[in-house]
Homo-oligomer: A and B are copies of this chain.
Amino acid sequence: MNSKINAKNSCPIARSLDFLGDAWSILILRDAHTGLTRFEQFRKNLSIAPTILTKRLATLTEEGILEKRVYSEHPPRDEYVLTAAGRDFLPVLFMIGDWGRKYRGDGKLVRFLDAETGTEIKPVVLDEVTGAKIGTRPIQIIEPGDE
């Protein structure tokens, strides 16, 4: 799929898909959120071919979701850390995970707990303005230009 198409689309979902429309990228982001930063960590944990990993890390870096950082001069070693944009992707990951737990959740799954209370996290998407859960109220879509 041509990424240039989405970047100019007026739909914010399409805009996100330049990097998101790829399973490896999402898994790399997931791992980055658990604290992984290095090439070999991602490669081993994901069992991904190094050619693919190189390409994905380059794209995520270009897109401003990861940042390359030198962590050793001698020997020269780089690592990849989340930017603010990358960190803000966490809610998306949680919702993807929540959907998977609900509809692909047969068998044992990883669980996410609130570290303070020790309770399992139950993510919900609310509209901050009305307080209503997304999906419970009708939505109106406004194209740019149609005011």
Contact = CB atoms under 8 A, between A and B. Distances in A.
B93 A13 contact: yes
A123 B131 CA distance: 9
Contacts of A27: 13-14, 17
Given A116-B130, A124-B127, 20 more contacts: A8-B107, A10-B108, A11-B100, A12-B98, A12-B101, A12-B104, A14-B100, A16-B100, A18-B104, A21-B24, A90-B134, A92-B99, A112-B139, A112-B140, A113-B139, A114-B127, A114-B139, A116-B138, A118-B140, A121-B129
Counting from the closest, the 6 A-B pairs by CB-CB distance are A21-B23, A108-B144, A16-B100, A12-B100, A15-B104, A91-B125
Determine how many copies of this chain the complex contains: 2
Interface of A: 1, 5-8, 10-18, 20-24, 26-27, 30, 34, 47, 64, 85, 87-105, 107-130, 132, 134-135, 137-145
A12 B110 contact: yes
A13 B30 contact: yes
B104 A7 contact: yes
Nearest to A101: B12
B120 A129 contact: yes
A78 to B, nearest CB: 23
